[in-house]
Amino acid sequence: MNRLISITTLFLTIITASLSFADNGNKTGSELLQNRAESVSFDGKTYHLSWINVDGSNITNEYLIKGYNLENWQSMIASRIYMQARNLKEVLPVYVKSIKPYMANKPEFYKSEHIKSPHVIIEAFLLAPDKSYYEYNLHLFKETPKGVVAYQFAEKLPFKKELDVTDIVKSRGNRLDLLSKMELEFFKK
């Protein structure tokens, strides 16, 4: 079965594999999920835990709006923890290198007054390999005592030669604020 996934999920899977130091005993997201009811509110929408991946010491949780799945999602919240990574330099270069071929524009970098630890928020527009859509991403990476944590907001946008980003620009400040205050539990199963 050919599963369409978030472009950044694909790249972060590469990062996870490169940072994984433990034998992973990979299980699929469905095997780990088992009817979770956890949810997160973001920018006026509620996202429900839809996929879990544990790869060695790295955990990924993806949240989707009810009625959507990993094949047809339109917007997503994702949380990742890289428990073996102690600083941003262990994660960011791999991430930036992995998305570079798909960047539709130069990414923007932001900081937040709400976060005291070393961190960066990356805003990037990625173009799907088949050029059928753009993927807008706000991606927060921050250092924590448990490892490097990443929170992501992703939204699919239909491909157009001239992409209108007016609504994205209007929502940017609020979304940056919400992302910088986000604290989610990491579910392993």
Cα-Cα-Cα-Cα dihedral sign, residues 83, 63, 126, 72: positive
- For position 186, what pLDDT does the model report? 87
At residue 8, the pLDDT reads 54
pLDDT, tens only, 130-159: 999 999 999 999 999 999 999 999 999 989
- What's the pLDDT at 79? 96
- Residue ranges, the chain, pLDDT below 50: 1-5, 10-37
pTM of the full predicted structure?
A: 0.79
Which CATH number applies to 39-181? 3.40.1000
Q: What is the DSSP string of 175-187?
A: HHHHHHH---PPP
DSSP 3-state helix, strand, coil percentages of the chain (rounded to 5)? 25, 35, 40
- Residue 7 is predicted with a pLDDT of 56
pLDDT, position 112: 92
Do residues 104 and 125 lie in contact, with contact meaning Cβ atoms separated by under 8 Å? Answer: yes
Domain ranges of the chain: 39-181
